[in-house]
Structure 1
Amino acid sequence: MPWFETTISVAKAGKIGLDLAKQSKIVRRWLRRISYRFKHGQAFLPVFGAGGAGKSTFPKFVLHESSGLPIIAPGYNQSLVVETAEMVGDIPGKIIVAPGQSRRVPYQWPELYKYINDGSAQGIINVVSYGYHAPDFEKITDHDLYVEGMSLEDFSAVYFAKRREVELEFLDKVLDAIKHISKPIWFVTLVTKQDIWWENRKEVKDYYENGDYFRRIDSYQKSLVRAHCQHEFISASLTLENVKTLAGDVLASTASGYDFEMYERSRIFTLRQFSDLLSRGRLQNV
């Protein structure tokens, strides 16, 4: 699983001497490659996941060149309908983002399932973040999980654990809806908020690779009769930002030492992974 370990270890050893300007140049190069894949492969990618995990930020991360600064997320805003992110100009590729609120799933997600089941989609992306979902509430006292006397730290632990359960529930919905696919497809689990969980990355890695999440993926792959699904884990920091309530109370902070240089190196690594996947086109039956 590409958890950026190799890149970090090399960087710590001093074997990568990239200055920030050069790193930004590399980022732009990979963005252009991804743009090329969309233009010539007509990539069509549905994106699923719970609200606040980073789905709406993901298209900006992979489709648009920035000024060399991290993507700026203007606070969490709920997506009410399916969002379509298109390339600039006449490039035919699209990223289709499903809203992540439970009450909207039954009405909005079937539109994306249709593209997967009829073979239109080249791949599937499921966005998770170890439960570090951007809150859509003003204060912790407004939330159903709050119990009188809870500290901010106590509430955060309960809230993030509950959101991990939501990630599993949403994964079940997606896998159940696409269990009859007839063409090969790749499925990426994008683990975002790398800047938040970086100090606990071994714990996060183990959770997704060896726990209930992967067991569901593995069971799904083995159940397919007419097609093959290749699953990959990719981790990323889509932006550098604390997890905080709408009132500004911080539930989780960016890890100490995870600075802009780390963000740029991580972004290069992540963009390379997606470029490689898009270059393959649709998988062949095996």
Structure 2
Amino acid sequence: MTSNNLKIAFLGIGLMGAPMTRNLLEAGFSMTLWNRTASKCEAFASDATIAGTPAEAVAEADIVITMLENGQVVDDVLVKQGAMAAVKPGALVIDMSSVQPSLAREHAELAAEQGAGYVDAPVSGGTVGAVEARLSIMAGGSEADIERALPVFNALGKCTRIGPVGAGQLAKLANQAIVGITIGAVSEALLLAAKGGADPAAVREALMGGFAGSRILELHGQRMIDRDFAPGAPARIQLKDMRMILDEARAENLTLPLAQQVHNEYLALVANGHSDVDHSGLLLELEHLNGSLMGSLGRGPKH
């Protein structure tokens, strides 16, 4: 791979951040890493610099990337822990976390005060997309700032400029509304079919060829059939996203009944102790509600 002289600070080496970091290193970028749990950086110790604080990590960086769990954590790292104040003039801050559009705009203003650029660039594609460098990147910011970010984005997936700062986060909310609601629909459809005596695996196969076919039915439908709920995207994150969708809807004087219902289902799933199952594990809440497991041919779980 060709070397790149851009220095990147990457804050947040978690489920998504770790494979993204690996792809950026393989693309030849010089990287400094920071994570709240420092041990998660250890796998990269021979290839990147490990910083003790967010401010230390960003001090020499041309590009600062945050990939953190929610807006509160992003704000804590950038503002309270002093990372934004340590960003050098001319640098570019790229928040690839999913945060409130209003928070993205606030952080853009803080970056501008430092003489730095800002792009909100949340992603879709989950851990599989992160590993395979096939993330869908939804970018909000000026055309010039997004142009500057393209060498980074191209190492991670495909970028689409949505509009000005905050627009990337709006696109992510739209994405998460469709994902959450569709997971609910697939859960109900497969449970309905299985309870009536159909094989849910055969139902999924048949539906994949028709109008109901979707990436959610393909991947998460299979997860439900296999009862494989190891987290790619944890349920607590989907709940956080559904909450942000409803907050944004209220701010825009919109009523979104489907989003509200799915939010309530994820809230119950998390309350019942499943915060760290994959978001496709919404099936578990539906089964709990009905007192019935999907299993195979409606006869309970396979052994």
Q: TM-score range by the shorter chain?
A: 0.3 to 0.5
Q: Which has the larger radius of gyration?
A: 2
Bigger share in helix: 2
Query: TM-score, normalised to structure 1's length?
Result: 0.37
* Larger relative contact order, structure 1 or 2 (CA cutoff 8 Å, min sep 6): 1
TM-score, length-scaled by structure 2 = 0.35
